[in-house]
Amino acid sequence: MTKQELCTLAIKSMNNAYSPYSGYKVGAALLCDNGKVFTGCNVENSSYGSTVCAERTAIFKAVSDGERDFSMLAVAGGKENELSDKFLPCGICRQVMAEFCKPEFTVLVVTGENTYKEFSLSELLPNAFSL
């Protein structure tokens, strides 16, 4: 699984977004150390605070299937069917990543069909909270 392949899966997962309230679609693809991939999309709710982001959907799907060792996450977002080059993961998702992933964990943020920006988790969430 190349980085671009993981990004392409994240883009495809945008199609499953349930986002009638914001009109914003987000897709994520999470690569496990064992090679398995879990995808996720944002799932909104009329009680807005119940919305779950794409990144957390993918992470929670993986954890609930017994996977906790992750090597990379790709995420793509944008209004309706457009890919935004401004999208970045929200703070809650960064904190959830920090629960399971090392500071060096790679986050690929899609900027176009064949382009992405690469971040480490520690760049996205320096000095993460932990107990």
Residues that bind ligand THU (CB under 6 A): 19, 22, 24, 26, 42, 44, 51, 53-55, 89-90, 93
Whether 55 is catalytic: yes
Smallest gap, in angstroms, from Cβ of residue 69 to ligand THU?
A: 22
Q: Which of 5, 44, 55, 118 is catalytic?
A: 55
Residue with smaller CB distance to ligand THU, 23 or 112: 23
Q: Give the containing element (helix H, strand E) for 105.
A: none
Q: Residue 31 or residue 53: which is nearer to ligand THU going by CB?
A: 53
The contacts of residue 91 (CB under 8 Å, 6+ apart) are: 125
Tokens of 35: 């090679």
**Neighbouring residues of 97: CB distance < 8 A, sequence distance ≥ 6:** 55, 59, 73, 89, 105, 107, 121, 124, 125
- Give the catalytic positions in this structure: 55
